[in-house]
A = this chain, B = another copy of it.
Amino acid sequence: MPEGITFQNNKALENRPTIFVTNDDGVEAKGLHSLIEAVKHLGEIIVVAPEDAQSGMSQAITVKYPLWIRKIKTDDNVTIYACNGTPADCVKIGISQVLKKQPDMVVAGINHGSNSATSVLYSGTMGAALEGCINEIPSIGFSFLNYEADANFQTPIENARKIASAILKESLPLGTCLNVNIPDVPPHAIKGIRICRQSMGFWHKEFEQRTDPRGRNYYWMTGEFLNAEPEANDTDEWALENNYVSVVPIQIDMTAYQTLPGLKKIDFESAYKFQQT
């Protein structure tokens, strides 16, 4: 890894590592159990996953009502709990109240559906990975470009296993976690694992309006993602369209450093007076 990057102290290979698993589709989702299958040979597996689906929850945390944890089962080296909170809550309460120590890795997913490009901002899967990252644990969110509840997870399992194995060995720079997206193609059609940057884009046609039996309008969120840079070949969107597994390093420092010099030139007092005249 390059000079100038401090790596997290990873003792995973000295002892049997503890792998913390969560997701945002809920404790019964096929994607969660696929991720457990992908990593269970790597160490002790502790799962704390949401009781029900928490898609689109970003890094939301629960402050309005209390959380509880329910043990579901222990099976070989895998112990599964459910929690009534968000994915980020599951990571917080799992580390603080279940494990009572730092795990060697946090993995989240495998999400039923893409979290590429700007979707990282809304993703509960990545909210969990970011929460692991804030706690200085190497953390990865995995998402599969197939929304079906009973999708075939063979391709994401194989690739999640490779990536989790590599990161357990190599660790990650402090303040950085990985956003991994996996194309919906058979394993032999995957061209490789590609390190990318987050593609820029946005959604349009985001709401479908309907009318309830009492004549009031209501709205379902829906929408289509528009890739704002379709020509770029270094983005996750490009990788996925070309059958690569996309790996984007995501950082918890959201400062737009390149804008600091320009912003420092703004005279807030004068602008205010200008508006008043």
Q: In the bound complex, what is the Cα–Cα distance between A255 and B254 (angstroms)? A: 9
Copies in the complex: 2
- A58 and B127 contacting across the interface, CB-CB below 8 Å: yes
Q: Which residues of B contact A247 (CB under 8 A)?
A: 263
What are 28 A-B residue pairs whose CB atoms fall within 8 Å in the complex? A4-B258, A41-B276, A56-B63, A58-B59, A59-B59, A59-B122, A60-B122, A62-B221, A66-B218, A67-B221, A68-B219, A92-B207, A96-B206, A118-B134, A121-B134, A165-B272, A165-B275, A166-B272, A168-B275, A175-B200, A175-B256, A176-B259, A197-B253, A197-B255, A198-B254, A249-B256, A250-B254, A251-B254
Q: Which residues of B contact A165 (CB under 8 A)?
A: 268, 271-272, 274-275
Interface residues of A, count at CB 8 A: 95
Nearest B residue to A67 via CB reads: B219
- Min CB–CB distance A95 → chain B (angstroms): 9
- B134 and A272 contacting across the interface, CB-CB below 8 Å: no
- Contact partner, A60, options B56, B173, B195, B202, Cβ 8 Å: B56
- Min CB–CB distance A83 → chain B (angstroms): 9
- A252 and B170 contacting across the interface, CB-CB below 8 Å: no
- A66 and B121 contacting across the interface, CB-CB below 8 Å: no
